[in-house]
Amino acid sequence: MHSITKTSLAALVAAGVATTATADGHALSGTLRISSDMSNPAPRAVMEKMAADFDALHPDLTVELTIVDREAWKTQIRNALSANPPDVVNWYAATRMTPYVDAGLFMDISDLWEEPEMAALASTKGAMTLDGKQWGVPYTYYQWGVYYRKDIFDELGLSEPATWDEEKANCQAIIDSGRKCYTIGSKFLWTAGGWFDYINSRTNGYDFHIELATGQVPWTDDRVRATFANWRELIDMGAFIDDHQSYSWQEAMPFMIDGEATAYLMGNFSVAAFRDGGLTDDQLDFYQFPVINPDVDYAEDAPTDTFHIASGAQNVDAAKAFLLYVTSPEVQTEINGGDALGQLPVNANASIADDKFIQQGFDMLSNNAGGGIMQFFDRDFDAEMASVGMEGLQEFMVFPDNLDDILDRLEETRQRIYN
């Protein structure tokens, strides 16, 4: 079996994480087979330590861990789940689960979500739910939101906006100062998807956004048009940098670093690049995307990595115990720390890294149980729909008068894919 430090094991036992028995009182035994795509160096170290620690907590159990290249796993997972499947596998939340749920390859673990300790994961439950049932657990995620130049806001006397009207008023003041409101690099399309996620979910609510993502709503629906009308208000103001379709997301960063633009709707992974570019934490800050329609529950983009139990698992008791272990506050604190994954724990009772952006994101997402967690446009939508959709979103940002043609094209694609 794998090794574990005495300090780590003692801490876990003291915290009550060492659940050594099944529901009927028998100790976990046999072999627990895990296939993971955590292949990059830092995630691999995290996965190897989790497997080793869980192994050491259960003397009669042997954990066998297989790590597969992350990109290769995307094409291998279906075969892996079909023939001699492992007990536990890594994947992604929300719509990305659908093919494996529909094919009967992921196990329904709704009973696990009824355990009292799972209440601390309430904000992520929707992302793990299909057809009213839960099909896995999250283990890490990260927030999206608006990263902005606080020093420029202070210079212009602006406050963080809470409403769409405040957002537009701030933007006008920024434009009047000779700057652009937002930088964005839409060359590779997905950044435009982030803008659509937020404006659509803030205009129509999380449930509508997911209904659109799953092909239940026509792209020509008036509610979708309302989303684009709100977006166009910013485009017509000249809010975005010029020629953004020529830049990658990284190539668009200097506009904000140099002060030519004041904000970037982006994921928390951008913070390191901002710091590397010379911005200090006194200059850089973060706010939650503002409310557009106060009558709908808002949602946040927070791409979520997950664990699932294969429907053909041979050691279900050990697999469920491992999922409870992974999501416990102590393990969540350890694996998401700055020296490990450096992301957000999914358990609201976990401790977080001493980083102001991690802290802001954790507070925002942990208190978002009333809304929902979006997985981002190219994860929530069918892959082909996402590809065609993001092309249309970028085109709209450059040629907003093309909206009718864009929506007709997206609707034709929706009907072909879903009907």
pLDDT at 342: 82
Mean pLDDT of 321-333: 98
Quick one: 111 and 10 in the same domain? Answer: yes
Cβ atoms within 10 Å of 277's Cβ, excluding its own: 15
Quick one: 215 and 130 in the same domain? Answer: no
- Residue 144: pLDDT over 90: yes
Phi and psi at 276, nearest 5°, equal -60, -30
pLDDT at 25: 55
DSSP category for residue 94: G
Quick one: 348 and 410 in the same domain? Answer: no
How does residue 42 score in pLDDT terms, banded at 50, 70 and 90?
Answer: confident
Look at residues 316, 336, 355 and tell me which one is the last residue of a structural domain: 355
Q: Which residues contact 167 (CB under 8 A, 6 or more apart)?
A: 161, 290
What is the distance between the alpha carbons of residues 153 and 157, in angstroms, rounded to a whole number? 6
How does residue 18 score in pLDDT terms, banded at 50, 70 and 90?
Answer: very low
Tell me the CA distances in angstroms from 239 to 77, 101, 183, 226, 262, one per residue in order. Answer: 42, 42, 9, 19, 10
In a domain, 373, yes or no: no
Quick one: 187 and 285 in the same domain? Answer: yes
What is the distance between the alpha carbons of residues 289 and 274, in angstroms, rounded to a whole number? 19
Asked if 269 and 355 count as a contact pair (C-beta separation under 8 A), the reply is no
pLDDT digits (tens, 9 = 90+) for 147-186: 999 999 999 999 999 999 999 999 999 999 999 999 999 9
CA atoms within a 13 Å half-sphere pointing along the CA-CB vector of 339: 1
- Residue 190: pLDDT over 90: yes
In a domain, 365, yes or no: no
Quick one: 273 and 321 in the same domain? Answer: no
Q: Which residues contact 230 (CB under 8 A, 6 or more apart)?
A: 164, 199, 203, 292
Number of domains comprising the chain: 2
pLDDT digits (tens, 9 = 90+) for 4-16: 333 343 344 334 4
By the 10 Å C-beta count (0-12 exposed, 13-18 middle, 19+ buried), 58 is classed as buried
Q: Give the closest residue to 327 by CA, choosing from 142, 132, 113.
A: 113
pLDDT at 370: 58
Q: What angle do CA 36, 42, 44 make, to 5 degrees?
A: 25
Q: Work out the percent of the chain whose per-residue pLDDT is above 70.
A: 93
pLDDT digits (tens, 9 = 90+) for 53-83: 999 999 999 999 999 998 889 889 999 999 8
What is the distance between the alpha carbons of residues 265 and 195, in angstroms, rounded to a whole number? 7
Considering the entire predicted model, what is its pTM?
0.82
DSSP category for residue 40: S
Cβ atoms within 10 Å of 272's Cβ, excluding its own: 11
Quick one: 230 and 319 in the same domain? Answer: no
CATH number at residue 78: 3.40.190.10
In a domain, 239, yes or no: yes
- Residue 377: pLDDT over 90: yes
In a domain, 367, yes or no: no
Quick one: 252 and 188 in the same domain? Answer: yes
In a domain, 129, yes or no: yes
Quick one: 101 and 128 in the same domain? Answer: yes
CA atoms within a 13 Å half-sphere pointing along the CA-CB vector of 176: 9
The per-residue pLDDT of the chain, averaged, comes to: 91
Q: Work out the percent of the chain whose per-residue pLDDT is above 90.
A: 79
Quick one: 51 and 75 in the same domain? Answer: yes
Asked if 242 and 173 count as a contact pair (C-beta separation under 8 A), the reply is no
70 or 416, higher pLDDT: 416
Quick one: 15 and 92 in the same domain? Answer: yes
- Residue 126: pLDDT over 90: no
Mean pLDDT of 303-329: 97
In a domain, 174, yes or no: yes
Place of tokens 């940098």: 241
Beta-bridge partners for 374: 301
- Residue 369: pLDDT over 70: no
DSSP category for residue 179: -
pLDDT at 5: 34
Beta-bridge partners for 291: 163
What is the distance between the alpha carbons of residues 61 and 26, in angstroms, rounded to a whole number? 12
Quick one: 134 and 229 in the same domain? Answer: no
- Residue 121: pLDDT over 90: yes
What is the distance between the alpha carbons of residues 120 and 332, in angstroms, rounded to a whole number? 11
Asked if 88 and 319 count as a contact pair (C-beta separation under 8 A), the reply is yes
In a domain, 169, yes or no: yes
Q: Which residues contact 69 (CB under 8 A, 6 or more apart)?
A: 37, 39
Angle between helices 222-237 and 190-204 (to 10 degrees): 120
In which element (H, E) is residue 225 found? helix 222-237
Quick one: 211 and 338 in the same domain? Answer: no
What amino acid is encoded at 132 in this protein?
Answer: G
Mean pLDDT of 307-328: 98
CA atoms within a 13 Å half-sphere pointing along the CA-CB vector of 284: 25
In a domain, 36, yes or no: yes
Mean pLDDT of 327-355: 91
Burial 102-132 (b: 16+ CB within 10 A, else e): eeebbbbbeebbeeeebebbebbbbbbbbee
> Which structural domain range is residue 114 located in?
6-140+304-355
How does residue 368 score in pLDDT terms, banded at 50, 70 and 90?
Answer: low
